[in-house]
Amino acid sequence: MEIAIIGGGASGMMAALAAKQQDKKSTVIIYEKNDRVGKKILMTGNGKCNFSNMDFRPEYFRSDSTKNLQCFFDAFGVQETLEFFEEQGLLVKNRNGYLYPASEQAATILDILRFACERAGVEIKTEAEVKRIAKKDGGFLIDAKVEKKHFDRVILACGSKAGPKNMTSGSGYLLAKSMGHQVIEPTPALVQLRCMEDFFKQIAGVRTECELTLFVDGKISQKERGELQLTDYGISGIPVFQFSRYAARALKERKSVKVSMNFLPDFSEENYEAFVHNRFEKKKGQSAECFFLGITNKKIMQLFLKLAGVKPDEKIEAGNREKWEKVFLLLRDFQVQVKESNPFENAQVSAGGICMDEVSENLESLLVPGLFFAGELLDVDGRCGGYNLQWAWTSGYLAGRAAFGVSNIVNGF
Ligand SMILES: Cc1cc2nc3c(=O)[nH]c(=O)nc-3n(C[C@H](O)[C@H](O)[C@H](O)COP(=O)(O)OP(=O)(O)OC[C@H]3O[C@@H](n4cnc5c(N)ncnc54)[C@H](O)[C@@H]3O)c2cc1C
């Protein structure tokens, strides 16, 4: 059996190893367009590679398809991933469920995969971009930059459009389309959001705990809590990343996208009312600057005073109480209008990709037998926290095995 794997990223290397596990004598060739495999792995987790997560739930993965993605993880999930890497000698660091190599170096994960491929006899061809795939003689003719070659099976593992330009191309979508597949239009995900308001320069650099609510066309779409990061153009940080795919999609559909920020998320409505009441009682004669001191980040407070029209040196009196109350409202419901997401270059993943309704439970094309898919190229994206690499390991492993006709799926797809 001769198998071509197009793309030497996380999913492609895992697919190659799984294929070789089935039959050592088979020919498995990875075609990688870059000068080396796994470049993106080096960037993951800020160079530390958050390669999976012990807190695993199916709802952490998103897809336009309603198919049961859990069946893939039942066949090769977090436990199997841990066993795989530990078997290769990896010591794992578990930080509140987030899994990293103990070395805290993403290069460790990449080296493990590279050496494992070398030992298994996987051929790696770099600077070998695949331009065309054609069905031929019961198999496939691969037209790579370095050669034209016939294969029995092909696994497309070209990744998405997300990440620095030199690491991504989106050419996997074109190859899949050339084979008749539908591609759900990719949008950036796990990405920063740019906002309309012109006050962001004043609050840039602030990092603070916040509860964020995403509104699409006025309706609550998502809620997230975590460390918000404010930039000179908008909002960033893990909670923003988590719902950014929904925001980017909605913007593409020309819907109105707003985010409300609650800077005091630990107060219930009642507690907050009592807190505000007490504040007005206790700090009666103080200037606004002193009155509001200590509630939240100074830059945020200064902005809210300005937006409410409260001067820092003014004192509370009958005529201005409404403005002071507005500051308290802003602290719990500060709304901004999102105009766009940052581009693919800044995104960690893409939402969208090859439609999961056109692949079998073994990640084989339902249109072209012998063609398999793995990784982010498929219409599956995970939350931030190691879930996207987990999908790369899971889908890569399953596609590599399935290329030999080994079915992995226990529960229905
Ligand atoms: C900055 C950043 C940080 C991230 N951090 C994390 C993290 O900590 N945890 C996590 O789970 N996920 C993280 N991700 C996401 C994760 O890296 C990806 O989901 C994962 O690498 C996808 O693996 P893949 O194999 O599908 O694609 P890729 O890793 O992108 O690999 C695809 C490969 O195919 C090659 N290729 C493309 N087209 C062709 C062609 N026509 N011919 C030949 N080769 C081709 C590409 O050069 C590439 O090497 C991060 C992403 C980024 C950008």
- For residue 129, is pLDDT > 70? yes
pLDDT of residue 169: 76
Q: How far is CA 25 from the centre of its chain?
A: 36
Least confident of 86-95, 112-121, 245-254, 308-317: 308-317
Atom of ligand 1 nearest to the CA of 390: 11
Tens digit of each residue's pLDDT (9 = 90 or more) over 9-49: 999 999 999 999 999 999 999 999 999 999 999 999 999 99
**CA 179 / ligand 1 centre spacing (Å):** 22
Atom of ligand 1 nearest to the CA of 129: 42
Mean pLDDT of the chain: 95
pLDDT of residue 374: 98
**CA 128 / ligand 1 centre spacing (Å):** 17
- For residue 309, is pLDDT > 90? yes
pLDDT of residue 413: 65
Sequence-distant (≥ 6) Cβ neighbours of residue 5 within 8 angstroms? 12, 15, 16, 19, 28, 29, 30, 31, 154, 155, 157, 400
Atom of ligand 1 nearest to the CA of 172: 38
Is the Cβ–Cβ distance between 186 and 352 less than 8 Å? yes
**CA 61 / ligand 1 centre spacing (Å):** 17
Mean pLDDT score, 311-336: 93
Least confident of 141-150, 165-174, 241-250: 165-174
- For residue 407, is pLDDT > 80? no
In the chain, the domains with their CATH numbers are: 2-187+348-402 (3.50.50.60), 192-341 (no CATH)
Residue with CA nearest ligand 1 atom 9:
386
Higher pLDDT, 386 or 404: 386
- For residue 318, is pLDDT > 90? no
Is the Cβ–Cβ distance between 234 and 244 less than 8 Å? no
Length of the chain: 413
Tens digit of each residue's pLDDT (9 = 90 or more) over 220-262: 999 999 999 999 999 999 999 999 999 999 999 999 999 999 9
> How distant, in Å, are the alpha carbons of 84, 283, 317 from that of 267?
45, 20, 26
% of the chain with per-residue pLDDT over 70? 99
Cα 365 from Cα 154, distance rounded (Å): 10
Residue with CA nearest ligand 1 atom 4:
44
Kindly state if the Cβ of 171 falls inside 6 Å of ligand 1: yes
- For residue 408, is pLDDT > 70? no
pLDDT of residue 67: 85
- For residue 410, is pLDDT > 80? no
Kindly state if the Cβ of 8 falls inside 6 Å of ligand 1: yes
Residue with CA nearest ligand 1 atom 8:
45
**Is the pTM for the entire model greater than 0.85?**
yes
Kindly state if the Cβ of 213 falls inside 6 Å of ligand 1: no
pLDDT of residue 409: 67
**CA 213 / ligand 1 centre spacing (Å):** 29
- For residue 185, is pLDDT > 70? yes
Kindly state if the Cβ of 385 falls inside 6 Å of ligand 1: no
